[in-house]
Structure 1
């Protein structure tokens, strides 16, 4: 990578930094999943229709199958019925067949009359005077949704409930999917202690580990390892990074990435042969964030230690990087655009992240915050907006909810 002048950034925006890191990564391996275990995984093959959809002409209504030339008779005997899942009988001339939604259209039928449009007698239907139907009325034609051999869903798509339905409809019981992304979390810092610890005033409980676990565990394409802790010691940190990166597709570290005397993460990563793609971005909070690629192609992200910075950079940067590893065709999902109820503030030459919550009027309003250590404000928010350097009051801004499942 071209050396960066002091005081400048390798990438002008977080989106470009994510793109640069993602381009250096490859999706994880492929496996076959049982149909009932595929939900949330990312498809590694296209879903191709093995037959037309629908596979034959079917009725779109409960009613009566008719020949158009017989409508002039006004009164037609019911010669039988057609039900879903059974081969239909032929329609005798001068009669109707009672038919149900989803049932196949019998030979000789031109249209279907809805039940509510006729008078029903025990074995006869009576048509209204001058009753007329156009050919094909209430008939869903064979292949109107898609033809055999047509690509229904492309690779790189998450198996949602709708996609699962398509897999089942076209007989794909063991789809090829990308395996789950193995993600390791390493929290650094001498001052950080386990959540259940009896801490002194100068010590803090670890919130970053729970933050990342809570954000990533709902993602079906992620296999999350339990967060671990490392002290601010280069040898201990190196040993932990080497061990954890050796069994993970992605390693997320928090803390130790800034310019302090105890911020050893960049140095340790370089000593392990990692390629640092970016270190420091024009963002607030979260400026010290680091993105790297390990020797085995792992994604390594150094997130700031301040809890709000870790929360925001995990959502804005780590999640799309994990989507790349998982095989998603779209890494950076287009964001919903919202208009901030409050002023966006003065330009700062940085992408700023503002905590927001939804009020009862459906507006995104600012959540007052005292900075990147104010986890209380973050807990009272629904997410954040990204405010570009040139944003003006009233502009539409990209919105990120705290749910990583939103992309």
Structure 2
């Protein structure tokens, strides 16, 4: 993260060698240079003019992974906010669009102050630590901006201060803790939501979000090791709650305890021995019984498949794709290429806008849905590929 003391005004570099170029072209050269990795922060030393061009780029996406990161950024925020120059004091408020937080101990008051100051955010993700639930604190800071302490409700007379907020990642339990639902104004304009599913939330109110196009629902963190019947129940409840505007639904359900769902049927029981086919069909081709089973399995009644397998094939909802929160997917798992993978630390890149060229979870899911629509993914083709 950039500190204000990075700029040494006594050693600015003369940029007269750019004097023959149009100023807009000079600016474009510097802005393109900022796309390099690691970010060439030394370019901000060139001149105050260059600094004015580049600082909005540096602070557009803010990702604070450690307490040290948080402390440095919060110090910068406080220093700038205290300056008498309105342009300087509101700089971070105007330019920070993406905020990703996962420090260990940022401090409740400082965290709330930071989140409530950055009102031009387009994307917010604050994940809980191992001990303290900072994610709930950050989301609560957003929800509380329109809370009327006298009436104890969301006050429609108080303008919602985050007009550009479109993407958010949070734990749904904060809603039931505050006795509110997805009808709260904080959710009205959202297009992308990443939510930890909690059983006490009024999920049916998701239907009120007519701007929502992409939703990811983590069923594994707060609903661990669901049985097959429970999985079916939650699939039905969550999918039916998603409004028709939603194009992509990711259900994070695959974990260690059910990563062998390709071996199980709709009741959660194992299929017959020898299923699925081993990596080399030649190894078992000498067995007429097993060969017949494989041949039969290319035309199996798909309703007998495990619910996660049915979800993988788009049979339950063509918009929906399963996701895994484990690395332990068997190498020859039949559906492994039809699953979105949520594994730390890679999953943080979905919310760290500073990482260029990253394909986020919804883009991966869109590619899977597209393959299914084009008929490139069928049960028969998957089985044949294993033979």
Question: Which has the higher Rg, Structure 1 or Structure 2?
Answer: 1
Which gives a bigger RCO, structure 1 or 2 (Cα 8 Å, sep 6+)?
1
In terms of fraction of residues, the more strand-rich structure is 1
In terms of fraction of residues, the more helix-rich structure is 2
TM-score, normalization by structure 2: 0.28
